[in-house]
Structure 1
Amino acid sequence: MSETKKVGILKSYRFPLILLLSIIIGSLIGISMGEDAAVLQPLGDLFLNLMFTIVVPLVFFSLSAVVANMQNLKRLGSIMGSMMLVFIVTGIIASMVMIVAVTMVPPSEGTTIELTQPEEVEELSLGAQVVKAVSVPDFVDLFSRRNMLALIVFSVLFGLATNLVGEKGRPVATFLASASEVMGKLVKLVMYYAPIGLAAYFAALVGVFGPELLGSYARAMIVYYPVTVLYFFIGFTIYAYIAGGKKGISRFWKNIAAPAITSLGTCSSVATIPTNVDAARKIGVPKDVRDVVIPMGAQIHMDGSALGAILKISFLFGIFNMNFSGIETFLYAIVISIAAGTVMSGVPGGGFIAEMFIVTIYGFPMEALPILAVLGTLIDPPATMVNATGDTVSSMAVTRLVEGKEWIESDIEESNQLTA
Structure 2
Amino acid sequence: MKKTKIGLVPKLIIAIVLGIVFGQLDVLPAIILQIPITISSLFSSLLSFIIPLMIIGYVIVGIADLTQGAGKLLGATTLISYGSTLVGGVIAYTIASIVFPMFITPELSQKVTESGEGLAALFTIPLEPMLDVTSAIVFAFLFGIGISWLRGQNKGETIYHFFSDFSAIITRILNTLVIPGLPIYIFGNFVNLSYTGSIQSILSVFWRVFLVVLALQLIGVLALFVIAGIYRKEKPWQFIKNQVPGYITALGTQSSAATIPVNIEIARKNGVSRQIREFVVPLCATIHLYGSITTVISCVTAVLIMYDMPYDFQLMMGFILILGIAMVAAPGAPGGAIMSALPFLTVVGISATGPIATLLISLYLTQDSFGTAANVSGDNAIALMVDKIYHTKILKEKNWVPTRGKPINSEVL
> One fold, TM greater than 0.5?
yes
- Number of aligned pairs? 375
Tell me what 1:395 maps to: 383
Tell me what 1:273 maps to: 260
SS in 2 for 1:105: helix
Tell me what 1:230 maps to: 219
CA apart distance, 1:149? 5.1
The 8 Å contact of residues 290 and 374 in structure 2, kept in 1 or not, is answered as yes
The answer to whether 1:302 aligns with 2:295 is: no
CA apart distance, 1:359? 2.2
- Aligned with residue 349 of structure 1, among 316, 335, 353: 335
Alpha-carbon separation, structure 2, partners of 1:154 and 1:100: 32
- Aligned with residue 317 of structure 1, among 296, 304, 309: 304
CA apart distance, 1:285? 3.2
Tell me what 1:331 maps to: 317
- Aligned with residue 216 of structure 1, among 201, 205, 217: 205
What does the per-residue CA deviation read over 1:332-389, in whole Å, with 9 as the maximum and x for residues that have no partner? 2432442353367442124442342342222323221111012202331111111112
* Structure 1 residues 38 and 72: CA distance shift in structure 2, 3 A: closer
The 8 Å contact of residues 67 and 148 in structure 2, kept in 1 or not, is answered as no
The answer to whether 1:32 aligns with 2:32 is: no
Gaps of 5+ in 2: 115-128, 396-401
- Aligned with residue 363 of structure 2, among 367, 375, 382: 375
Matches within 5 A, 1:19-168: 19-33=12-26, 36=30, 37=33, 40-66=36-62, 68=64, 73=69, 76-106=70-100, 108-109=104-105, 110-112=108-110, 113-114=112-113, 143-146=131-134, 150=138, 153-154=141-142, 156-166=144-154, 168=155
SS in 2 for 1:322: coil
Tell me what 2:122 maps to: none
**Which range is displaced more, 157-166 or 294-303?**
157-166
Greater Rg over alpha carbons, structure = 2
Tell me what 2:374 maps to: 386
Alpha-carbon separation, structure 2, partners of 1:65 and 1:146: 18
SS in 2 for 1:193: helix
CA apart distance, 1:207? 0.7
The 8 Å contact of residues 273 and 409 in structure 2, kept in 1 or not, is answered as no
CA apart distance, 1:210? 3.2
With normalisation by structure 2, the TM-score equals: 0.79
What does the per-residue CA deviation read over 1:292-319, in whole Å, with 9 as the maximum and x for residues that have no partner? 4333322222001121122122122112
* Structure 1 residues 323 and 361: CA distance shift in structure 2, 3 A: closer
Alpha-carbon separation, structure 1, partners of 2:355 and 2:257: 30
The 8 Å contact of residues 72 and 288 in structure 1, kept in 2 or not, is answered as no
Alpha-carbon separation, structure 2, partners of 1:287 and 1:154: 35
With normalisation by structure 1, the TM-score equals: 0.78
Tell me what 1:122 maps to: none
- Aligned with residue 239 of structure 1, among 227, 233, 238: 227
Tell me what 2:126 maps to: none
SS in 1 for 2:367: helix
The 8 Å contact of residues 220 and 311 in structure 1, kept in 2 or not, is answered as yes
* Structure 1 residues 151 and 288: CA distance shift in structure 2, 3 A: farther
Alpha-carbon separation, structure 2, partners of 1:261 and 1:395: 19
* Structure 1 residues 403 and 53: CA distance shift in structure 2, 3 A: farther
Tell me what 1:123 maps to: none
The 8 Å contact of residues 343 and 350 in structure 1, kept in 2 or not, is answered as no
CA apart distance, 1:171? 3.8
The 8 Å contact of residues 305 and 337 in structure 1, kept in 2 or not, is answered as no
Alpha-carbon separation, structure 2, partners of 1:70 and 1:336: 16
Alpha-carbon separation, structure 1, partners of 2:300 and 2:58: 25
**Which range is displaced more, 238-247 or 287-296?**
287-296
**Which range is displaced more, 280-289 or 375-384?**
280-289
What does the per-residue CA deviation read over 1:11-60, in whole Å, with 9 as the maximum and x for residues that have no partner? 6x711110111111011111224993456422112222222322233333
What does the per-residue CA deviation read over 1:375-407, in whole Å, with 9 as the maximum and x for residues that have no partner? 202331111111112122112222333432878
The 8 Å contact of residues 243 and 377 in structure 2, kept in 1 or not, is answered as yes
CA apart distance, 1:142? 11
The answer to whether 1:413 aligns with 2:385 is: no
Tell me what 1:121 maps to: none
Alpha-carbon separation, structure 2, partners of 1:294 and 1:153: 25
CA apart distance, 1:286? 4.0
What does the per-residue CA deviation read over 1:122-169, in whole Å, with 9 as the maximum and x for residues that have no partner? xxxxxxxxxxxxxxxxxxx99432456545633642452353243x44
Alpha-carbon separation, structure 1, partners of 2:144 and 2:391: 26
Tell me what 1:131 maps to: none
Give percent identity, aligned residues only.
21
The 8 Å contact of residues 255 and 283 in structure 1, kept in 2 or not, is answered as yes
- Aligned with residue 192 of structure 2, among 200, 204, 227: 204
Alpha-carbon separation, structure 2, partners of 1:310 and 1:369: 13
The 8 Å contact of residues 31 and 210 in structure 1, kept in 2 or not, is answered as no
CA apart distance, 1:215? 1.9
Gaps of 5+ in 1: 1-6, 116-140
What does the per-residue CA deviation read over 1:104-137, in whole Å, with 9 as the maximum and x for residues that have no partner? 321744234439xxxxxxxxxxxxxxxxxxxxxx
* Structure 1 residues 340 and 180: CA distance shift in structure 2, 3 A: closer
Question: Alignment RMSD, CA only?
Answer: 3.2
